[in-house]
């Protein structure tokens, strides 16, 4: 039996979380539920005829579709390529910046600045750089000691994949580096000092103290970057608009867009959205579960 004060507290609790619940219900839960509902219909966006309930036909069609599996492959390649490089790159950069006494703020600011650009602007800048006559080829020719070689940043299927990964890496590396720096700052200095007194070297301190204590930040960065990568759309969209072959970078979000806007098949597009959503939930849950297996405490 809960006391009167507890009940009152609970009521106030509900009162305070109500706006957030209302917000998420309207802008998140309802669209998710609606997408699932829509995915069970054969529904032409333009048709005035009522949509036809087809159970899981849209899902079955997707699983038999070559285009869908190509999208899964394109998303997987992009996500793994971006996710791994972002994780390792941002961790390395954060340690490097954190170890600096001078210019730390400058480096943080410089790294973070691409994140404030919209993805469309970022992709447009890179489209100019990666144009066959752009700086991309000039730099690569200088770097590789070649002359007049076209590295086909858009044209070659593998290069177009690498280019999209490169743009995403450039745009978000600063964001995740800042998160790691915040994580590093939260590790109490006393622990590191104690380790130094005990005779631990720099590498040992990082490996035995910093990394384990940084685990919650690693999990956070993993979840955020994975979601970010799997939802990537604008870069691939602009690449395709600029003449890059679609198949190698036809990620699930681009497939959703084309299925809905080009083909008018909103039911099938919703089915892809639901699959993407469930995949994201699954990965996020797995990461959180793995992250919780060894809880970190600074006490």
Secondary structure of residue 46 in the 3-state scheme = coil
| Residue 284 sits in the site that holds other proteins (CB under 8 A) | no
- Select from 154, 168, 172, 180 the one that contacts other proteins (CB under 8 A): 154
Distance set, CA 279 to CA 273, 274, 283 (Å): 10, 8, 6
CB nearer other proteins, residue 176 or residue 237 = 237
Helix (H, G, I), strand (E, B) or coil at 265: strand
Shortest Å, Cβ 117 to other proteins: 20
Among residues 3, 66, 189, 298, the one that binds other proteins under rule CB under 8 A = 66
By the rule CB under 8 A, 246 interacts with other proteins: yes
Query: What is the nearest approach in angstroms of other proteins to the Cβ of residue 50?
Result: 13
Q: Which of residues 94-133 bind other proteins (CB under 8 A)?
A: 131-133
- In whole angstroms, the minimum distance from the beta carbon of 232 to other proteins comes to 19
The helix or strand, by DSSP H or E, that contains position 204, with its residue range, turns out to be: helix 202-205
- The contacts of residue 248 (CB under 8 Å, 6+ apart) are 74, 157, 158, 160, 161
Residue 53, strand partner residues: 41
- Residue 73, interface with other proteins (CB under 8 A)? no
Q: For residues 32-51, which are near other proteins according to CB under 8 A?
A: 44-48
For residues 218 and 222, what is the distance between their CA atoms, to the nearest angstrom? 6
Given 85, 119, 124, 156, the residue binding other proteins (CB under 8 A): 156
Dig out the tokens for 107 from the structure: 């480096």
CA distance 249 to 29: 29
Cα 75 off chain centre by: 11
* Least distance between other proteins and beta carbon 33 (Å): 18
Answer for which of 20, 27, 147, 298 binds other proteins (CB under 8 A) is 147
Closest to other proteins by CB, 16 vs 27, is 27
- Is 244 near other proteins (CB under 8 A)? yes
Inter-CA distances, 288 with 155, 172, 186, 220, 226, Å:
39, 21, 20, 8, 12
Task: Report the interface residues with other proteins, using CB under 8 A.
Answer: 44-48, 66, 131-133, 137, 146-150, 152, 154-157, 241-247, 258, 261-266
């Amino acid at each position: 039996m809960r006391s009167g004060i507890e009940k009152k507290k609970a009521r106030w609790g509900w009162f305070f979380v109500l706006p957030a619940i209302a917000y998420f219900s309207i802008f998140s839960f309802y669209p998710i539920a609606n997408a699932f509902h829509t995915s069970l219909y054969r529904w032409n966006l333009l048709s005035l005829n009522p949509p036809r309930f087809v159970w899981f036909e849209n899902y079955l069609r997707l699983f038999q579709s070559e285009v869908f599996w190509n999208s899964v492959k394109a998303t997987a390649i992009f996500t793994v390529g971006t996710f791994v490089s972002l994780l390792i790159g941002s961790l390395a950069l954060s340690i490097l910046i954190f170890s600096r006494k001078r210019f730390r703020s400058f480096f943080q600011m410089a790294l973070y600045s691409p994140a404030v650009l919209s993805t469309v602007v970022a992709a447009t800048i890179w489209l100019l750089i990666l144009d066959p006559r752009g700086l991309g080829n000039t730099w690569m020719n200088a770097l590789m000691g070649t002359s007049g070689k076209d590295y086909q940043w858009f044209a070659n299927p593998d290069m177009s994949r690498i280019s999209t990964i490169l743009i995403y890496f450039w745009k978000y590396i600063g964001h995740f580096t800042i998160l790691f720096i915040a994580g590093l700052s939260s590790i109490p200095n006393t622990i590191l000092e104690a380790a130094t007194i005990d005779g631990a070297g720099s590498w040992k301190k990082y490996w035995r103290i910093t990394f384990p204590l940084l685990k919650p930040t690693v999990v956070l960065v993993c979840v955020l970057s994975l979601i970010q990568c799997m939802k990537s759309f604008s870069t691939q969209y602009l690449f395709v608009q600029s003449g890059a072959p679609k198949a190698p970078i036809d990620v699930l979000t681009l497939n959703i867009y084309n299925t809905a806007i080009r083909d008018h098949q909103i039911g099938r597009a919703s089915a892809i959205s639901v699959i993407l959503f469930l995949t994201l939930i699954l990965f996020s849950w797995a990461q959180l579960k793995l992250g919780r297996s060894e809880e970190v405490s600074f006490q």
